Structure 1
């Protein structure tokens, strides 16, 4: 089959209870010089109230584009983003109200903060845009919740006067100042020293427990996913290829791509070295989109299971949004 025929879709209705934020059959395409890149190519994903979901995958797999689309920063080519059961509207007033509920925490706190603004000004920016009352009280409360106590010590400091962990806490405080329901955290600890990462992850878990916050954590680090997430969704070339409860997916991965990602962890008994780079999203291969790099296919195990031809030529259904463990893999289906 040609790539233009890849339209088979499973039922996208989520089975996650108390769904708060949802992607339904989401597609995001970019066109340049006549070439169409399918950055997000049919994703169903749900985030429940008070739940942390880790979205993992290599650079270029589409996870940041998916996160930006869930934030309303990109418009889907087709499919929809739903919040609180309602489709996201893209008018300026609707987006402003939505972004008070769903806040972004960026990877690089140094780049996120204006070096000419004090901590107070940085945290107060959102409340001012939304014309919230009692600005000083809101800022102090947000800093305290982000672990910068007493907040008075930090109000007049500039970013260069803070440590990396303190800067990341200021960024988190800026999001918390709007009392959001959801945080979308893009590689929230990637730029931090190892000694500080645990503190920031512990803070996010505390915010979930104390405030009922939900979080979508975008990361390439499966170790981070293990430490913080309730569920994990593994993304490859614009699609979720495996998802489920973090313990099930990371202790018994079914998709060869997830197995390869996990093999780089220190405790892994066997290292899987993937050949080549992820394919160009303007030229997604037919069959299983991972088959050109798949160690199961290359080793002959897929042939032994009688699915090698299917891996190369038969399209896989798009995974539904589900709380259950699932994988889009012919070999996993054949071997149980």
Structure 2
């Protein structure tokens, strides 16, 4: 039996808590997360707005300092000195969802892509590095784009420039936060195909943050579903999206455009990291508890009062749900 390679990135017992203001409770945005990402692997982090996925992504990049827990990259624990973070950000890059907001309208494409090289004191041929990054991002011939400004480009071309800016430093991991959310449907597939090609050609790992399960299906090797600061279901994309076990995952899938079944309308309030309930953190909105199925399975009391352990960060299908664990098939 082949031993799987060591993770490129590991988050262990990660917490990010923001202090309350004006007497409000602190917000536990990330509340004990374990997550691994391996070289050449695309992981989709899925959940509705307010679940903590963007905060988790920013913490993984060192843009937010965790309250507790730690992150390791390439086997080395991340420290938060400016020198260590600068070195880390050569290897792990962020791609934002809004290319128009990410690009300075007064900078040419060349300057936008070269910015990272200049910040990190690149001592090679800058022009060659910029051209290579643009070419890898699908802007060919690259020299045709050097002197153009963001307003002269289409939305898809602007997103490719943002991706080129991330690639120019030769990272091993990119974190893409809703990378196609602002693009037309006709362009979305091109950008997703580009990310897949970069994985295959460069061995690039990616964490793709999204609320779109269709995107996760098209691009991810593995899916992590997040709710109220924790990952509640994780596994290979086929396991999670074809046979979801957590009621929250089932509800998200039921309202996806590709779904042919009846939509599950969640009741109650959306996630509020200042008010994490006792028991399963989803129980107040859970359609299984509301329907009586959890009562019939003998776990309704546990759903309301007993918290579930944090899921491990490695591979394999896992679910944080009392009811789902009564339905193990052989």
Aligned to 2:308: 316
Shift of 1:161: 0.2
Choose which of 16, 20, 29 in structure 2 pairs with 1:28.
16
Q: Which residue is equivalent to 1:8? A: none
- Residue aligned with 2:234, SS: strand
Structure 2: gaps (5+ residues)? none
Aligned mate of 1:78, from 68, 74, 78:
68
Match of residue 327 from structure 1: 319
Task: Kindly state the Cα deviation for residue 282 of structure 1 after the two structures are TM-superposed.
Answer: 1.2
Which residue of structure 2 lines up, in the alignment, with residue 284 of structure 1?
276
Q: Does 1:44 align with 2:34?
A: yes
Moved more, 55-64 or 16-25: 16-25
Aligned mates of 1:18, 1:162 — CA distance in 2: 40
CA distances 1:248-305 after superposition (whole Å, capped 9, x unpaired): 0000000000000000123331211111332421110000000000000000000110
Give the equivalent residue in structure 2 for 1:91. 81
The CA deviation at 1:41 is 0.2
TM-score using structure 1 length: 0.94
Do residues 152 (structure 1) and 140 (structure 2) align?
A: no
C-alpha contact 1:16 1:321 (8 A) present in aligned 2: no
- Once residues 158 and 217 of structure 2 are traced to their aligned partners in structure 1, the CA distance between those partners, rounded to angstroms, is 24
The answer on whether the counterparts of 1:257 and 1:294 sit within 8 Å (CA) in structure 2 is: yes
Unaligned runs of 5+ in 1: 1-14
Equivalent of residue 118 in structure 1, options 108, 119, 129? 108
**Could you say which residue in structure 2 is the equivalent of 1:11?**
none
Alignment of 1:210-249 (within 5 A): 210-249=201-240
Which of 292, 296, 307 lines up with 1:304 in the alignment? 296
CA-CA distance at 1:238 after TM superposition: 0.1
- Cα offset, 1:49, TM superposition: 0.7
In the alignment of these two chains, the number of paired residues is 322
TM-score by structure 2 length? 0.96
- Find the counterpart in structure 1 of residue 133 from structure 2: 142
Pick from 155, 174, 177: which aligns with 1:164? 155
Deviation of residue 335 (structure 1)? 1.7
User: In 2, are the aligned partners of 1:274 and 1:294 still within 8 Å (CA)?
Assistant: yes
Q: Take 2:39 and 2:117, find their aligned partners in 1: how far apart are those partners? A: 24
How far did 1:18 drift?
Answer: 2.6
Instruction: Indicate the larger mover: 184-193 or 27-36.
Output: 27-36
Shift of 1:16: 6.3
Moved runs in structure 1, 4+ residues, more than 6 A?
Answer: none
CA distance in 2: counterparts of 1:66 and 1:152, whole angstroms: 37
What do the CA deviations read for 1:20-50 (whole angstroms, capped 9, x no partner)?
0111010000002242110000000000010
